[in-house]
Amino acid sequence: MKRRKKQPKALDTPFDAFGLKTPAARHMVVVEDAAWTNPETGKKENPNGVKRARRVSWAEVYRNKGKLTARQYNAATMLQGAWERTQRSQPAIRKVKVDSTTKPDAAIAIQADRLSKFHAIYRHVPLSAKPVIDHVVIDNRPAGQMAGARGRSLGRHMARLSEGLEKVADALGL
C-alpha cells in the first residue's frame, strides 16, 4: 500500500489589520477611532472610519477608573518614559561613515545621560511607594498582582501609589 504524501497544513491563526488576535497579542490593547479635529468646525471627524490600535498602560487604566488624578498620571507617564528610554540601545543601522573611527564613548555618554535623567525623576519617589511604583509604573503590572495585595492591602498599595506619584508630580512641578 502506498503512503499518502503529507499535505502542508494551513495555520489557524486569526489575523486582522491590527495583527494577531491571540489573547497574548491583544492584552491591554485598545482599538479606537483615528479621528482628527477639524480646525474650521472644531469637531472630531473620521470620514473614512479609520481605526488604530494602541497598548494601554496600567497607569492609564487606573486614571480612567478614577484611582489616579491627571496630575499623578502625568508623573507616571514621565517616569515610565524616562525608564523606557534607558532600555533603548544604539540604532542597529547607521549611516556609513568613511574614514572615521567608531566612537563607543558617544553611545556610552548617551546611555549615561538617559540613566541620569531617569534617576533625577526617580529620586523623588518616597521609599514607602517605591515597590508599588516599580510594580505598576515601571514593570507595567497591576497593583493586584503584588505580593500580599488582597482586600485592604490592595487599597493600601493604591494609596501608596497615588501618594508617591503626587510627590513626584510636586517635585517635577506638574
pLDDT tens for the 174 residues of the chain, in order: 677 777 776 666 666 666 667 777 777 888 888 888 888 888 888 888 888 888 889 999 999 999 999 999 999 999 999 998 888 776 655 665 555 556 667 777 888 888 999 999 999 999 999 999 999 999 988 888 887 777 778 888 888 999 999 999 999 888
Query: Distance (Å, rounded) from C-alpha 126 to C-alpha 137?
Result: 14
User: CB of 124 within 8 A of CB of 168?
Assistant: yes
Query: To which H or E segment does residue 147 belong?
Result: none
Q: Map residue 69 onto helix, strand or coil.
A: coil
Q: Map residue 122 onto helix, strand or coil.
A: helix
Query: Distance (Å, rounded) from C-alpha 16 to C-alpha 18?
Result: 5
Q: What single letter denotes the amino acid at residue 35? A: A
Q: Report the predicted TM-score, pTM, of the whole model to 2 decimal places.
A: 0.72
The pLDDT, as a whole number, for residue 38 is: 85
Give the residue extent of every domain in the chain.
59-89+110-174
Q: Which three cell numbers stand for residue 36?
A: 482628527
Backbone torsions φ then ψ of 30, nearest 5 degrees: -120, 130
β-strand partners of 20: 15
DSSP string, 3-57: PPPPPPPPP---EETTEE-SHHHHTTEEEEE--EE-TTT--EE-TT--EEEEE--
The pLDDT, as a whole number, for residue 39 is: 87
